[in-house]
């Protein structure tokens, strides 16, 4: 049987294909901020990828519930994650001393 596959495709502003990455999770929301793509999945993982290479910048963070929405603060200091049960999780970005 053929399994459903999810992929992230990258194109230039002129429509030139730059690359793609196969994803294990089903993306529910994503946010492009600066040089990163912040993604949430229905499987409950928060992932941060490099915008140009599509490689993971850090290991995905498990939220244990499906993620419904993601937002990044204006200063790029925190990621706001809305979960299926209505909880809002705030994730600090940067080194522990900065958070």
**Could you tell me the residue ranges of all domains in the chain?**
2-92
6 three-class SS = strand
8 Å CB contact between 42 and 59: no
Which residue, among 74, 28, 73, 20, has the nearest Cα to 49 in the 3D structure? Answer: 20
Q: What CATH number was assigned to the domain covering residues 2-92?
A: 2.40.128.630
> Which residues lie closer than 8 Å to 8 by C-beta, 6 or more apart?
20, 21, 23, 27, 37, 39, 49, 54
- pLDDT for 3 equals 59
Q: How far apart are CA 82 and CA 40, in angstroms?
A: 9
pTM metric for this prediction: 0.85
The pLDDT profile of the chain, 99 residues, written as one tens digit per residue, is 345 688 999 999 999 999 999 998 999 999 999 899 999 999 999 999 999 999 999 999 999 999 999 999 998 899 999 999 999 999 998 766 554
């Amino acid at each position: 049987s053929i399994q459903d596959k999810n992929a992230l495709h990258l194109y230039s502003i002129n429509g030139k294909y730059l690359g793609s990455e196969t994803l294990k999770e089903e993306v529910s929301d994503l946010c492009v901020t600066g040089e990163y793509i912040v993604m949430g999945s229905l499987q409950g993982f928060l992932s941060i990828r490099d915008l140009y290479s599509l490689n993971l910048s850090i290991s995905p963070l498990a939220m244990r519930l499906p993620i419904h929405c993601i937002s990044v603060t204006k200063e790029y200091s925190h990621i706001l994650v809305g979960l299926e049960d209505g909880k809002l999780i705030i994730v600090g970005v940067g080194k522990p001393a900065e958070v």
